[in-house]
């Protein structure tokens, strides 16, 4: 194994601590007799445990060794895979190195663990090669990643040679991309141990669709039209969804990523305290072959907060143009995002020598940088009942409409008033009671 891995060129940067590299070192020590049997077994079990943890996170099944190798191929970001993501597998000398690496991976797929299992008296490799995973709810693992990895794994198992693998893998790169952006829909940002900015996949995004949001058809059409233009490479605008709480602003944005993921849309959620990192985030994604929406939920600023200045500069205020593959979608309960005071509305001069009306204009200029602003107002009682009855039908709740609306009215009076969120909570309550009685 270690002799094969040492010959990798494009896919050699796997990390010394990766499972594959650790197993390579173990197998080398086994062949040279540099370690005691007990130590080798313990080291192997350490890596098997890591592989089982990875399999649980991503829902791998059947052959965990093959799944792991496929996972490496579709997540390793190198010069070849990144180029294929953008333009596909065009003719070039680099393809010779790629085929060589794929030949090695084919050998790894077919690796015979019999010798090491026999001499060390273990059967863990045979076990993971005929694995039956415990059934799990989708919220417990990333089903999207699991499905794609297992499909590639099965395809490579059936491949005759490196030429087949070349086609399988490059087709995947072209269709979905490579690395975390190719497999995941949504991300957060964080700092690693070295204070480097990194993207953290959100593994369990809510599987909500625009059709699940009842009503607000005009609002949904505006955001759909803008997003359609964006994913098709046409001109599109940053969007602000504002209005009363519980009206579906955030749900609309969550639905957008589910609707357009297969067309190359990805979403990065950023919090207010991270706005100073916005420029760096954009620099890291501007050359990728995806369309990115930077999502800012429940956006608002108090008078003393200045983070909005970072946002203003990034949207349309800096020297560097915002790349065509990045948009900003934000939600807010405030029309103008930043709290206004009555003193801002006067033209009196403050202690700093600035006119207060100038201060207000500076604050309002942030909203003006969103080319699309969409209002989500609290529904009327009639609209509230329409939402309730629609959700009841979707959830299979059998109750005559008059009784349903009467109970919904009682619920909203005791639970925060009329809103789409209140309607959903009421339906959740009814569904829960139905489950309890069945």
Mean pLDDT on 243-263:
89
Residues with Cβ < 8 Å from 358, sequence gap 6 or more? none
Mean pLDDT of 141-168: 89
Closest CA to 383 of 279, 247, 257: 247
Can you give the pLDDT at residue 316? 64
Q: What is the mean pLDDT of residues 387-412?
A: 89
- Both tokens of 310, joined, read 């970072």
Distance of CA 308 to the CA centre of its chain: 25
**pLDDT score for 51:** 95
Domain ranges for the chain: 2-180, 210-376, 381-437
Per-residue pLDDT band for 174 (boundaries 50, 70, 90) equals confident
Average pLDDT over residues 393-407: 88
Q: What is the mean pLDDT of residues 72-95?
A: 87
Task: Find the range with the poorest average confidence among 66-80, 333-347, 405-419.
Answer: 333-347
Nearest 5°: CA angle at 188, between 264 and 152? 45
Sorting pLDDT into bands at 50, 70 and 90, what band is 267? very high
- pLDDT, average across residues 179-195: 86
Q: Which residue has the higher pLDDT, 301 or 94?
A: 94
Question: What does the pLDDT read at residue 28?
Answer: 93
**Burial class of residue 112, CB neighbours in 10 A (0-12, 13-18, 19+):** exposed
- Indicate the range of 17-21, 50-54, 202-206, 317-321 predicted with least confidence: 317-321
pLDDT band at 123 (very low <50, low <70, confident <90, very high): very high
More confident residue, 302 or 65: 65
- Note the pLDDT of residue 437: 63
Burial class (CB in 10 A: 0-12, 13-18, 19+), 293: buried
**Residue 14 has which token pair?**
């796997």
Structure-model confidence comparison of residues 105 and 181, the more confident one: 105
Q: Are 344 and 303 contacting, i.e. CB atoms less than 8 angstroms apart?
A: no
CA distances, 74 to each of 99, 352, 399 (Å): 15, 57, 49
Long-range contacts of 229-236 (CB under 8 A, 24+ apart): 230/265, 230/291, 230/293, 230/327, 231/260, 231/263, 231/264, 231/265, 231/291, 233/324, 236/327
Which whole number is the average pLDDT over 289-311? 77
**Residue 161 burial (10 A CB sphere; 0-12, 13-18, 19+):** exposed
Structure-token pair, residue 196: 């480097």
Q: How far apart are CA 67 and CA 80, in angstroms?
A: 21
Among 3.40.50.12500, 3.40.50.300, 1.10.260.40, 3.40.50.2300, name the CATH number for the domain at 210-376: 3.40.50.300
pLDDT at 167: 95
Residue among 194, 253, 244, 205 at smallest CA distance from 372: 253
Q: Where is pLDDT greater, at 241 or 348? A: 241
Strand partners, 189: 199
Dig out the tokens for 272 from the structure. 């207010």
Averaged confidence pLDDT in the chain: 85
Lowest mean pLDDT among 56-65, 294-303, 386-395: 294-303
Model confidence at 162: pLDDT above 60:
yes
Give the model's pLDDT for residue 342.
45
Q: Which residues pair with 239 in a beta bridge?
A: 329, 372
Question: Does 350 have pLDDT greater than 60?
Answer: no
Give per-residue burial for 259-291: e unless 16+ CB within 10 Å, then b.
Answer: bbbeebbbbbbbebebbebbeebbebbeebbbb
The separation between CA 280 and the C-alpha centre of its own chain, rounded to angstroms, equals 18
Helices 37-58, 143-158: crossing angle, 10 deg rounding: 120
Q: Is the pLDDT of residue 3 over 90?
A: no
pTM listed for this prediction: 0.77
Given this model, what pLDDT does residue 357 score? 53
Q: Name the band, by pLDDT with cuts 50, 70 and 90, for residue 434.
A: confident
**What's the chain look like in SS3?**
CHHHHHCCCCCCCCCCCCHHHHHHHHHHHHHHCCCCHHHHHHHHHHHHHHHHHHHHHHCCCECHHHHHHHHHHHHCCCHHHHHHHHHCCCCCCHHHHHHHHHHHHHHHHCCCCHHHHHHHCCCHHHHHHCECCCCCCHHHCCHHHHHHHHHHHHHHHHCCCHHHHHHHHHHHHHHHCCCHHHHCCEEEEEECCCCCEEEEECCCCCCCCHHHCCCCHHHHHHHHHHHHHHHCCCCCCCEEEEECCCCCHHHHHHHHHHHHHHHCEEEEECCHHHHHHHHHHHHHHCCCCCEEEEEECCCCECCCCCCHHHHHHHHHHCCCCCCCCEEEEEEECCCCCECCCHHHHCCCECCCCCEHHHHHHHHHHHHHCCCEEEEECCCCHHHHHHHHHHHHHHCCCCCCHHHHHHHHHHHHHHCCCCCHHHHHHHHHHHHHHHHHHC
Structure tokens, 326 = 């990045």
State residue 358's pLDDT score: 54
Report the pLDDT averaged over residues 89-98: 87
Count of all residues that appear for the chain in the document: 438
């Amino acid at each position: 194994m270690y002799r094969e891995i040492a010959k990798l060129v494009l896919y050699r940067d796997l990390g010394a601590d990766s499972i594959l590299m650790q197993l390579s070192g173990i197998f080398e020590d086994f062949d040279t007799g540099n370690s005691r049997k007990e130590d080798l077994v313990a080291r192997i079990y350490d890596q098997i445990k890591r592989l089982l943890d990875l399999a649980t996170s991503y829902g791998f099944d059947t052959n965990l060794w093959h799944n792991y190798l496929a996972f490496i191929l579709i997540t390793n970001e190198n010069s070849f895979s990144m180029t294929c993501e953008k333009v596909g597998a065009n003719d070039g000398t680099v393809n010779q190195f790629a085929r060589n690496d794929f030949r090695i991976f084919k050998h790894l797929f077919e690796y015979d663990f019999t010798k090491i299992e026999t001499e060390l008296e273990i059967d863990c490799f045979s076990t993971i090669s005929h694995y039956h995973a415990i059934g799990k709810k989708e919220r417990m693992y990333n089903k999207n990643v699991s499905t794609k990895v297992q499909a590639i794994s099965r395809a490579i198992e059936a491949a005759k040679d490196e030429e087949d693998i070349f086609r399988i893998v490059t087709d995947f790169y072209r269709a979905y991309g490579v690395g975390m952006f190719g497999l995941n829909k949504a991300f957060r940002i964080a700092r690693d141990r070295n204070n480097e900015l990194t993207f953290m996949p959100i593994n369990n995004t809510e599987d909500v669709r625009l059709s699940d949001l009842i009503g607000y058809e005009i609002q949904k059409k505006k955001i759909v039209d803008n997003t359609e233009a964006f994913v098709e490479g046409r001109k599109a605008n940053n969007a602000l969804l504002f209005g009363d709480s519980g009206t579906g602003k955030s749900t609309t944005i969550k639905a957008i990523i589910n609707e357009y993921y297969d067309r190359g849309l990805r979403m990065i959620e950023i919090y207010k305290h991270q706005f100073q990192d916005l420029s760096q985030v954009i620099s890291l994604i501007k050359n990728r072959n995806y369309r990115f929406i930077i999502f800012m939920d429940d956006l608002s600023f108090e008078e003393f907060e200045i983070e909005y200045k970072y946002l203003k500069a990034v949207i349309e205020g800096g020297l560097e143009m915002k790349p065509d593959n990045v948009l900003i979608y934000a939600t807010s309960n405030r029309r103008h995002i930043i709290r206004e005071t009555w003193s801002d509305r006067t033209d009196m001069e403050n202690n700093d020598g600035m006119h207060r009306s100038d201060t207000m204009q500076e604050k309002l200029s942030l909203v003006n940088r969103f080319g699309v602003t969409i209002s989500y107002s609290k529904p009327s009682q009639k609209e509230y009942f329409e939402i309730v009855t629609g959700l009841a039908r979707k959830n299979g709740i059998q109750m005559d409409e008059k009784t349903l609306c009467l109970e919904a009215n009682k619920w909203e009076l005791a639970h925060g008033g009329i809103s789409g969120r209140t309607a959903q909570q009421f339906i959740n309550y009814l569904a829960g009671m139905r489950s309890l009685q069945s």
